[in-house]
Structure 1
Amino acid sequence: MSIAGQTGYVRRTALAIVATAGLLGTVLVPGVAEAHGHHKPKIEDLQLLAINDLHGNLEPPAGSSGTIKEVDPTTGQVVSTPAGGVEYLATALRQAREGHRNTVTVAAGDIVGASPLLSGLFHDEPTIEAMNKLHLDVTSVGNHEFDEGAKELLRLQNGGCHPVDGCYVEGRKFKGAEFEYLAANVTSEKTGRPILDPYWVKNVNGVKVGFIGATLEGTPNIVTAEGVKGLKFANEVTTINKYAAELKRKGVKSIVALIHEGGYPASSTYNYDCGPAGEGISGPIVDIAKKLDPAVGAIVTGHTHNAYACSIPDPEGNLRSVTSAASFGRLYTEINLKLDKRTGAIVRPSVTAANHVVRRTVDKAPDMSELIAYYSKLAAPIANRPLGYIGADINGRGSTAFEKPLGDVIADAQLAGLSAAEKGGAQIAFMNPGGIRSDLVYKASGAEGDGVVTYGEAFTVQPFTNMMQVKTLTGAQLIQLLQQQVSGGNEAAPKILQSSAGFTYTLDLNKTGAARIVVDSIKLNGVAIDPAASYRVAANEFLAGGGDGFPAFAAGTDKLVGVSDLDLFAAYLGANSKAGSPLVVPAQDRIKVIGVGEDMD
């Protein structure tokens, strides 16, 4: 991280935001004033192209995961447009770079992890290779970069064959990422130092631009304990401000933050206008953005899988760009900056930021098609194996209801596989909604035929291969568990567990916090839960360990470890569906919802 050249610090002043005519979702952000107001700056233009939360989706995502909501300019109606696929993303980014002398491609984490089989089967090496071809320059780590632990993350950065599975083709060694992974707020417990570089500096025709990368402080709460073993995750604001000060001391006055934490815009359309001062967005990133050093000229975010291009005030009251490009490569963000070559600072006005749909109407990038074909051939014997049959789409990720049809199926599969006494004696099974990564789509995307569920499709739904656990919880702990869905760290954005058949209760959205769970309504097979009784409860190892803000799970006793969640899912599909008798869409009658807001999750 050597940094040449010195530039002066330029104070920020508040300027009125200028509306960009005719384009929703584009922000024109007030900026840094000229230091003395007497010089005509020599300007260097810089284009940033940003993505986030790709999650190894090299092929176009299936179902609702492969669409983006937008306002049709001709009708004014919200429509769902097919989007995503790295073959189209590569073409879109390459076209966007045309005519720009200075361009940097950045990301805000979760490039890998929770990936479909095409990437996940090979420990995400295909996605790293795709990002190299895409000419990604730098990314922050996200929480999913730690799914397989810090050592595996370092292997993805530096290269080398997998320590267990080895090299997948004789004579072909994985070279690692040609882009920089940044982890400013992730330190080793032993050394106290970041496990990867905290920042990266790009020389843009004589102007030094620094990129600081961080993941959310709460990463240990949403990753298995093994994945974050030996690591500490510091506060995002404190860390980024620390390194912004360090960069300024080294003469870097133009700074961009890449943060794997995000927000929740008031609309799900990608081109929603957040308002002149970011009034239309909420969530953790808003508070973070308001506290970051004003020297940070733009903030690229992720994690929530939402799309926004907003302007949020910095500590001095000046608006700056805060963006996110949804997920799965369905969008990319274009941010254009002007750099003052005399001061080294970002010139304001103006910074512009806009999200663009990765439409599947453009030509496929041949090099990406070749890469996908190469790994598809290697994966085919496993990926194309049929497991079962469905009679219609069974939505998981694409469902906006608290009780998701595919969540019911997964919970039922876990209960079926773990109910026998020798396998744990489970009476109830719970599935965390964030672990459902896709939908089961009826229409065939390959040669297997409509309604056939392949191993590859099942893996895409449940890519973590978490080992299952069965624990004993008291009725009182079960009640606490349900209350933790809508209280504590989950109150602002409830995480409603998917439950197995026979377990029912009422969720009252007219109330707040834990009171949303109607305790008297909680029943197992029609019998009210007894706080003093004991129940055997199944969940994946992440959830059973208290992940996602459910400490009541961690308090369970008499743990029995079973097979993986994917194995149970595959077995259930095979045992409960045939070509002439496919699996039907569940009735979604386990959680009764009172009040409005069923899409709060």
Structure 2
Amino acid sequence: MPISGSTGRRSTALAVAAAAALFGTMALPATAEAHGRGHDKPKYEDLQLLAINDLHGNLEPPAGSSGTITEIDPATGKTVATPAGGAEYLATALRQAREGHPNSLTVAAGDLIGASPLISGLFHDEPTIEALNEIGLDVTSVGNHEFDEGSAELLRMQKGGCHPTDGCYQEGRSFEGADFRYLAANVTNEKTGKPLLKPYWVKNVHGVKVGFIGVTLEGTPNIVTAEGVKGLKFGNEVTTINTYAAELKKQGVNSIVALIHEGGLPASNVYNYDCGAAGAGVSGPIVDIARKIDPAVGAIVTGHTHNSYACTIPDPDGVPRSVTSAASFGRLYTEINLKLDKRTGAIVRPSVTAANHVVRRDLPKAADLTALIDRYRTLAAPIANRATGYITADINGRGSTALEKPLGDLIADAQLAGLAPADKGGAQVAFMNPGGIRADLVYKATGAEGDGVVTYGEAFAVQPFTNMMQVKTLTGAQLVQVLQQQVSGSNTASPKILQISDNLRYTLDLNQAGAARVVVDSIRLNGAPVDPAANYRVAANEFLAGGGDGFPAFAAGTDKLVGASDLDVFNAYLTGHSSASAPIAPPAADRIKVIAVGQTG
């Protein structure tokens, strides 16, 4: 949708024209025409949706690049990075947004928990669920990270109860579970075929029934540990949504919203970027999904890619439909306003407008969220504030846009160092999946610690999964396949470039296609070519070693040895390789030679 430069409100010329044609003078609020003649009942009911996605337990303001939003400064016209996010500010922003909207629902598109900073992750994300209860969330789809600790733990998030092994975290307090509804329409039990959670939720809005269908991406098993999705089947997003849309319509529910944990890639990282007519400025899986979803679905809220957009994408009839995403970590929220036709019970599609808004840190903090965060911060402090290492400058991971990330190199080096001893697995090379790097190491962090100090809490934010490390034997041919699978197979369209230990070098030629992008003759391990027939001991976390992220060559490895967790290995390296007088400098990130499109080697 085109953007208004002053407000960031997105609407298409097509939508405006259609609305005018449909409503005529009804487009003007509070008129006799808008509410019928004389004392007739109103024909339309206004509904506001406030949407978030991919919070990942970021209750405190995210640090580094993860805590900023890119926007255009209206005073200068230049792109700037604005500090954003933090549950105390998000709560205030949503409460202010609801003012003047008697019909307002707060919705989400998954990954609200999982891969969380220590203040939430240490307590199995109970703090985030409690915070979302306070914020006023009504309904959300599940995301892939809701399965990080398995389906039983997800059900505990919904229903409540103390952790089965850790118990309750405070005497006299029990975990009550989510006040909001988790939806998982396309997640079923392999044996029974029954949905793990409710597939949809219906809200009566002054006589109009509004249905919400929630799904996660079909490919969830490829990006979650096998244990996390054990016994579950993940169905196709489109087929599932269309099936339940038909079921809702049979029940007289004609206003339907889809909450989908799958997303798109806008052509710009500016939060209020103009997607253009028919969503031409956004690509990725959500485009094809949105084009096939039943036209009865009046709006689509998405997530997963951590991008921001508020676009229109044509439905199967070619009619524009709102598709939105609010970045990640609570830095944005989306405001969607629409009209419900009280005669047909349907969403009036031309009435739908959507805009993303920045959760700025100049807002007043919500006192109830401050109290909640302070309570868990106090409980976590003895562990969180312990110094584990020292750095000379920011070491970027999540915030790096490069294929090879300085923090990725550091993590891979740590894994090789920790698993190279013979009794630890005898690793000769280490690989780290880029999606597992969840934050940056920030030199000047908030709190009481001094500049350059890395605390346990900061290291946890980088490696929150506590995946167990593994060492496997791969042949040289399989090692080459691992590198090729970064840019082929399921990773052809969206390459996943592994982070590598300092003893591995190769060239990536982006002018080529598929596996040919990896220049095989360039691969060197400890300065020597890789022998296809030789055996090599390879270190990786259990997710990657199990073939996750589209790397089946890892799964084919043999002679598995399970080591310490990735977090323990990382912390041990920071402690053993740095001190206040000899801090770690950011790696040069020069292990992969990248030949960009249009360049020659």
Give the alignment's TM-score, normalised by structure 2. Answer: 0.95
What displacement does 1:20 show? 5.2
Q: 2:220 corresponds to which letter in structure 1?
A: T
Q: Distance in 2 between matches of 1:348 and 1:255?
A: 11
Q: 1:410 corresponds to which letter in structure 2?
A: I
Conserved in 2, the CA contact under 8 Å of 1:34 and 1:347?
A: no
Q: Distance in 2 between matches of 1:216 and 1:343?
A: 31
Partner of 1:364: 365
Q: Distance in 2 between matches of 1:448 and 1:539?
A: 31
Conserved in 1, the CA contact under 8 Å of 2:2 and 2:10?
A: no
Q: Distance in 1 between matches of 2:9 and 2:437?
A: 29
Instruction: Say if 1:264 and 1:496 are closer, same or farther in 2 by CA, change over 3 A.
Output: same
**Are 1:139 and 2:123 matched, yes or no?**
no
What displacement does 1:23 show? 4.2
What displacement does 1:26 show? 1.3
Q: Distance in 1 between matches of 2:154 and 2:2?
A: 42
Runs of 4 or more consecutive aligned structure 1 residues displaced over 4 Å after TM superposition: 17-25, 31-35, 37-41
**Which residue of the other structure, out of 1, 8, 11, is the alignment partner of 1:27?**
11
Conserved in 1, the CA contact under 8 Å of 2:2 and 2:276?
A: no
Give the alignment's TM-score, normalised by structure 1. Answer: 0.95
- Write the mapping of 1:328-477 to structure 2, written as runs, cut at 5 A: 328-477=329-478
What displacement does 1:444 show? 2.7
Q: What are the superposed Cα offsets for residues 131-178 of structure 1, whole Å, 9 maximum, x if unpaired? A: 000010000000000000000000000000000000011111100000
Partner of 2:73: 72
Q: What are the superposed Cα offsets for residues 69-94 of structure 1, whole Å, 9 maximum, x if unpaired? A: 01111211111000000000000000
What displacement does 1:512 show? 1.4
What displacement does 1:27 show? 2.9
Instruction: Say if 1:322 and 1:444 are closer, same or farther in 2 by CA, change over 3 A.
Output: same
The secondary structure found in structure 1 opposite 2:372 is helix
Partner of 1:10: none
Instruction: Say if 1:419 and 1:19 are closer, same or farther in 2 by CA, change over 3 A.
Output: closer
The secondary structure found in structure 1 opposite 2:353 is strand
Conserved in 2, the CA contact under 8 Å of 1:333 and 1:353?
A: yes
Q: Distance in 2 between matches of 1:182 and 1:499?
A: 38
Instruction: Say if 1:91 and 1:406 are closer, same or farther in 2 by CA, change over 3 A.
Output: same
Q: 1:372 corresponds to which letter in structure 2?
A: I
Conserved in 1, the CA contact under 8 Å of 2:210 and 2:255?
A: yes
Conserved in 2, the CA contact under 8 Å of 1:25 and 1:272?
A: no
Q: Distance in 1 between matches of 2:365 and 2:576?
A: 39
The secondary structure found in structure 2 opposite 1:536 is strand
Q: 1:171 corresponds to which letter in structure 2?
A: G
Q: 2:251 corresponds to which letter in structure 1?
A: K
Q: What are the superposed Cα offsets for residues 492-515 of structure 1, whole Å, 9 maximum, x if unpaired? A: 111100000110100111111111
Q: Distance in 1 between matches of 2:84 and 2:582?
A: 33
Q: Distance in 2 between matches of 1:335 and 1:236?
A: 22
Partner of 2:566: 565
Gaps of 5+ in 2: 27-32, 37-41
Partner of 2:489: 488
Conserved in 2, the CA contact under 8 Å of 1:270 and 1:308?
A: yes
Which range moves more in the overlay, 340-349 or 472-481?
340-349
What displacement does 1:596 show? 4.3
Q: What are the superposed Cα offsets for residues 525-548 of structure 1, whole Å, 9 maximum, x if unpaired? A: 110111111110000000000000
Q: Percent identity?
A: 78
Q: Distance in 1 between matches of 2:223 and 2:564?
A: 21
Q: 2:380 corresponds to which letter in structure 1?
A: A
Partner of 2:104: 103
Gaps of 5+ in 1: 1-16
Q: Distance in 2 between matches of 1:595 and 1:417?
A: 34
Alpha-carbon RMSD across the aligned residues, in angstroms, is 1.8
Partner of 2:320: 319
Instruction: Say if 1:89 and 1:504 are closer, same or farther in 2 by CA, change over 3 A.
Output: same
Partner of 2:201: 200
Conserved in 1, the CA contact under 8 Å of 2:3 and 2:9?
A: no
Q: Distance in 1 between matches of 2:598 and 2:368?
A: 44
Q: What are the superposed Cα offsets for residues 296-347 of structure 1, whole Å, 9 maximum, x if unpaired? A: 0000000000000000000000000000000000000000010111111111
Q: Distance in 1 between matches of 2:412 and 2:548?
A: 17
